[in-house]
Structure 1
Amino acid sequence: MQAESTKLNFFAKSVIMLVFILVFSIIYSTTAYSSTNKQQQLNTLNQQINNKKQKINKNNLTKSQLDADIKQADSNMYAIQTRLDKVRTQLSAAKTKTSVTQAKLNMLQIELEQKQQEHANALKKLKQLSVVLDKRANNFYRSSGIPYIEVILSAKSFSDLLHQVYYLSRIINQDAKLVKQIKDTKAVIEAAKAAIEKNKTATEQKQVILLSEENRIASLTVDLQKQKDSLAEQL
């Protein structure tokens, strides 16, 4: 009887011990799970916070870069506009020089045509005078029947000789004066014509240079305007 009582006590103690162990295990497991779950939530929250910080930093960096880009674009726009204004001023000055040079060319062309006409007239007069002189000499020879020298030698008296010499000298001097006058006029006209042609050639060369410079500046103006428009679209 006492042995059975001892067995029952041992069995009861064993059951109580098992129950205690089971309850302790359940409590420990629940506590451990709860702790792990909270740590995971904390880690997730920290990750979200870090992500937000990174996004904010990235946005700040992007905004700073954007502000820097806008500032640089404004600076480039100002530089291009300043250069464009300068180039336009140069283009206006080049066009003015070209117009002045063209007007000078037109004037030189008119002067050259006038000198060419004067030169042609001088040649015509010289040719006409040569014909007149030849005709006069032929008429004198036909009327007297003897050359100039024989007319002088055939003078009947000293007074007749003086008269013949005076008459011939007047004719010769007058003819020589006319010839010299026309030749001098012709030489002056030729010199003026050569000077005009030289000036015209130099002016034409200058005109070519001015036109080339004008075209270069005009092309540069177009390029700068395109750059300005492109920058304006980026702002």
Structure 2
Amino acid sequence: MNKRIKVLISVLMCTSLFSATVFADDLSDKKQQSSDVEAEIDAGKARVNELESKKDTVTREVEALNSEAEALNKEINELNSKIEVSNKNLEELKVKTEELTKAIEDNQHVVNERMRTLYKSQGQSYIEILLESQGITDMLKRIDYLMRMIKFDKEVMEEFEKNQRELASVTKEAEEEKAKLQDDKMVVEVKTNELNAKTAAKNALVAGLEADIAAEEAKIAQMEAEFNELLSAINTMEAEAVQDERPSRGDAGSTTAGNGDIFSITGGMAYPITSTFDPRPNPITGVWESHGALDLGAPHGAGVFALKAGTVAYSGWMSGYGNVVVINHGDMSTLYAHNSVLNVSAGEQVSGGQRIASVGSTGNSTGPHIHFEVIIGGVKVDPAPYYIY
């Protein structure tokens, strides 16, 4: 081999190495960006949950204030009814007072007339009336008659005056009761106005929280779109050849599929499927969402094995996923999440069936299991056909 060819080969090797290094750096940057964006998404969802919690609290406070205001309005209505009855009673008492006053005045007039008659009847006085008596017996009768008449008039006047005093006392009590009712009503109305002001402030707070929630959800939607774009870019960079071809499941106990290059990710152990690829309620948040993976109920510390040969595209922590290994197989990528221990590093070449991690429950997980994803052409596909043992 001459010197010129050696130089050319060296240049080509350096160029390939440089390209590979740049590709790895770009892929690492994309992975880091996607991890950062996903962390922001998780933080955004946490803020939304916090805002929703505050909104629920304030809404309950508004409901309590509304109930209290309703009770006060009922009390105001009852006071208005009592005041109306009181006004009616006062009107009746006023009529009775006027009638009694007129009766006293009329009776006083009669008495006065009678006294004038007694004193001046036909120009005679009490003495003259008595002097006209026909003997001592007649005079005594006349004296008794005069005394009885004076006593009767006095008793009638006293009875009228007594009734008038009692009526005045009852009227005063009715007026005091009405005044108290009006004072009570004013106090309740002040409380109602204060409650209405508090309720309006709480409603404004709820409206503000709803606006904050809407703004936060809009940010999350934008970040999720960015995350999906990053994921698509990562998968496009990882996939050198796109084949939408799914191998058939092998026989029980087999470690390879029909084309001979698929291995058991459990090392031949038949672990139960605890969650399928289909949408499901999130076990942590309860929100119905796409799963996009296969969960296998493996024990903590059990081995996790590479589906097939490839290059480790990512090995480390990923928000939500915990400890993750992503392998680029050329025609597809596979992801293994929630591991307790990672046995491989980014850029490392692995063979099919090689142990790459240990089962754990890191990230958003409710228990130890293998979270297995298959990505072809930037799209997650059902991993079930790739689960062989």
Give the TM-score, by structure 1 length: 0.77
Higher RCO (CA 8 Å, separation ≥ 6 residues): 1
Structure 1 stretch 134-143 or stretch 42-51: which is displaced more? 42-51
Instruction: Measure the CA separation in 2 of the matches of 1:153 and 1:227.
Output: 101
SS in 1 for 2:57: helix
Offset at residue 36 of structure 1 (A):
4.2
Instruction: Measure the CA separation in 1 of the matches of 2:128 and 2:154.
Output: 21
- Residues 1:204 and 2:182 are matched in the alignment: yes
**Aligned residue for 2:165?**
187
**Aligned residue for 1:142?**
120
**Does the C-alpha gap of structure 1 residues 65 and 158 become closer, same or farther in structure 2, counting only changes over 3 Å?**
farther
**Aligned residue for 1:4?**
none
Larger strand percent: 2
Instruction: Measure the CA separation in 2 of the matches of 1:153 and 1:28.
Output: 176
**Aligned residue for 2:29?**
51
One-letter identity of the residue aligned with 1:209: V
Q: Superposition pairs for residues 7-156 of structure 1, below 5 Å?
A: 24=3, 26=4, 29-30=7-8, 33-34=11-12, 36-143=14-121, 145-148=123-126
Offset at residue 103 of structure 1 (A):
0.4
Instruction: Measure the CA separation in 2 of the matches of 1:57 and 1:208.
Output: 62
Deviations 1:167-195 (A, max 9, x none): 12211111111111111111111111111
SS in 2 for 1:128: helix
Offset at residue 223 of structure 1 (A):
3.9
Instruction: Measure the CA separation in 1 of the matches of 2:57 and 2:136.
Output: 100
**Aligned residue for 1:160?**
138
Deviations 1:171-230 (A, max 9, x none): 111111111111111111111111111111111121122223223333433443444355
Structure 1 stretch 159-168 or stretch 196-205: which is displaced more? 159-168
Give the TM-score, by structure 2 length: 0.49
Deviations 1:26-65 (A, max 9, x none): 4675465445434432431232133122222222212211
Instruction: Measure the CA separation in 1 of the matches of 2:156 and 2:164.
Output: 12
Instruction: Measure the CA separation in 2 of the matches of 1:51 and 1:148.
Output: 134
**Aligned residue for 1:218?**
196
Offset at residue 140 of structure 1 (A):
1.2
**Aligned residue for 1:228?**
206
Larger helix percent: 1
Q: How many residues align?
A: 213
Gaps of 5+ in 2: 215-389
Percentage identity across paired residues of the two chains: 15
Structure 1 stretch 179-188 or stretch 221-230: which is displaced more? 221-230
Q: Which has the larger radius of gyration?
A: 1
**Aligned residue for 2:152?**
174
Instruction: Measure the CA separation in 2 of the matches of 1:150 and 1:100.
Output: 69
